[in-house]
Amino acid sequence: MRKFDLTSAAQDVVAELRELASLTSNENGAQRIAWTPIWDRSIEWFKGKMQAEGAEIHIDAAHNIWAKIEGEMEDAVVIGSHLDCVPDGGWLDGALGIVSGMGILKQFGKNGKKPKHTIYIVCWADEEGARFGSSCVGSAAVSGSLHIEEIKKLKDNDGICFSDALKPYHMKLEDFPKARKEFLKKHIKAYLELHIEQAPLLESQGKSVASVYGITGCERQYIIFTGQSAHSGAPLSMRRDAFLAAAQAVLEFRKIGLQYDAYCTVGKIIVEPNVVTIFPGKCKISLDQRSIQPDMLKIIYEEARKACEKAAKANNVSVSFEHVWSNPPTAFDENLIAACEASVWEETGENTSMFSGSLHDAAEIAKIVPSVMMFAMSSAGLSHCKEENTPDGDLETAIRAFFRLAEKVIQG
The enclosing domain of 191 has a CATH number of 3.40.630.10
Q: Is the pLDDT of residue 379 over 80?
A: yes
- pLDDT, average across residues 240-267: 98
Say whether 58 counts as a known binding-site residue: no
- Asked whether residue 310 is domain-assigned, the answer is yes
Q: How many CB atoms lie within 10 A of CB 257?
A: 19
The verdict on whether residue 387 carries a ligand-binding annotation is: no
If asked whether residues 67 and 118 sit together in one domain, one would say yes
Measured between alpha carbons, how far is 412 from 397 in angstroms, rounded to an integer? 22
Q: What is the model's pLDDT at position 368?
A: 97
**Domain end residue (candidates: 310, 327, 344):** 327
What does the pLDDT look like over 305-358, one tens digit per residue?
999 999 999 999 999 999 988 888 999 999 999 999 999 999 999 999 999 999
Rounded-to-5 percentages of helix, strand, coil across the chain: 40, 25, 35
Mean pLDDT for all residues in the chain:
96
3 state DSSP class of 246: helix
Q: Are residues 223 and 269 in contact, defined by beta-carbon separation less than 8 angstroms?
A: no
Instruction: Tell me the residue length of the chain.
Output: 412
Residue 165 and residue 63 in one domain = yes
> Which residue range is the domain that position 202 belongs to?
6-216+329-411
Q: Are residues 208 and 233 in the same domain?
A: no
Structure letter (DSSP) for residue 239 = -
Q: How far apart are CA 380 and CA 321, in angstroms?
A: 34
Q: Find the largest Cα–Cα distance for the chain.
A: 80
CB count within 10 Å of CB 286 equals 17
298 CB-near residues (< 8 Å, 6+ apart): none
Is 156 known to sit in a ligand binding site? Answer: no
Could you read off the pLDDT of 120-152 as tens digits, one per residue? Answer: 999 999 999 999 988 899 999 999 999 999 898
- 292 with 345, same domain: the answer is no
The pLDDT of residue 201: 97
Asked if the bond preceding 273 is cis, omega within 30° of 0, the reply is yes
The predicted model scores a pTM of 0.87
**Could you tell me what percent of the chain has a pLDDT over 70?**
99
Both 151 and 287 in one domain: the answer is: no
Distance between CA atoms of residues 91 and 25, nearest Å: 8
What dihedral angle (degrees, nearest 10) is formed by the CA atoms of 130, 132, 134, 140? -100
Residue 400 falls inside a structural domain: yes
Q: Residue 111 pLDDT > 80, yes or no?
A: no
Q: Which residues contact 406 (CB under 8 A, 6 or more apart)?
A: 77, 79, 104, 192
384 annotated among ligand-binding-site residues: yes
In a domain, 77, yes or no: yes
**Is residue 281 one of the residues assigned to a domain?**
yes
